[in-house]
Amino acid sequence: MKDVQEVRDLARHIRIETLKMLTGLGFGHYGGSMSVVETLAVLYGDVMRIDPRKPDWQDRDYFVLSKGHAGPALYATLALKGYFPVSELQTLNQNGTRLPSHPDRLRTTGVDATTGSLGQGVSIAAGMALSHKLAGRTNRVFCILGDGELNEGQCWEAFQFIAHHNLHNLTLFIDYNKQQLDGTLDEVIKPFDLAGKFSAFGFDVQTIKGDDIVAISEAVTPVRHAEERPLVVILDSIKGQGVKYLEQLANSHHLRLTPDVKLEIENAIAKLEATHV
pLDDT, tens only, 190-209: 999 999 999 999 999 999 99
Rounded to 5°, angle at Cα 170 from 191 and 66: 55
CB atoms within 10 A of CB 37: 27
pLDDT at position 182: 86
Q: Quick one: average pLDDT of 83-111?
A: 96
Percent of the chain with pLDDT over 90: 91
Nearest to 76 by CA among 64, 63, 89: 89
DSSP characters over 184-222: EHHHHS----HHHHHHHTT-EEEEEETT-HHHHHHHHSS
In whole angstroms, give the CA distance from residue 173 to residue 146.
8
Vertex 109: Cα angle to 64 and 70 (nearest 5): 45
Average pLDDT, the chain: 95
For residue 46, what are the domain limits? 4-275
Cα-flanking dihedrals φ and ψ of residue 48, to 5°? -75, 145
Confidence tier at 226 by pLDDT (50, 70, 90): confident
CATH number of the domain that 124 lies in?
3.40.50.970
CA distance 208 to 191: 17
Q: How many CB atoms lie within 10 A of CB 95?
A: 5
Cα(132)–Cα(255) distance, integer angstroms? 39
Query: Which residues contact residue 1 at a Cβ distance below 8 angstroms, ignoring those fewer than 6 apart?
Result: 7, 42, 46, 213, 214, 217, 218, 221
Tell me the pLDDT band of 275, cut-offs 50, 70 and 90. Answer: confident
Angle at which helices 213-220 and 4-25 pack, to 10 degrees? 110
What 3-state DSSP class applies to 231? Answer: strand
pLDDT tens-digit series, residues 237-259 = 999 999 999 999 988 888 899 99
pLDDT digits (tens, 9 = 90+) for 179-190: 888 889 899 999
Determine contact, residues 168/224, Cβ cutoff 8 Å: yes
Mean pLDDT, range 103-119, rounded to an integer: 96
Q: What percent of the chain has pLDDT over 70?
A: 99
Distance CA 145, CA 123 (A): 11
Q: What is the DSSP string of 56-80?
A: T-TTS-EEEESSGGGHHHHHHHHHH
pLDDT number for residue 250: 86
pLDDT in tens, 259-273: 999 999 999 999 999
Question: What is the torsional sign of CA 237, 241, 246, 247?
Answer: positive
Query: CB-based contacts of 76: which residues, under 8 Å, 6+ apart?
Result: 13, 14, 17, 18, 21, 89
pTM: 0.96
Q: With 90 as the cut, is the pLDDT of residue 114 above it?
A: yes
Q: How many domains does the chain have?
A: 1
Q: What is the pLDDT of residues 4-42, one digit of tens each?
A: 999 999 999 999 999 999 999 999 999 999 999 999 999
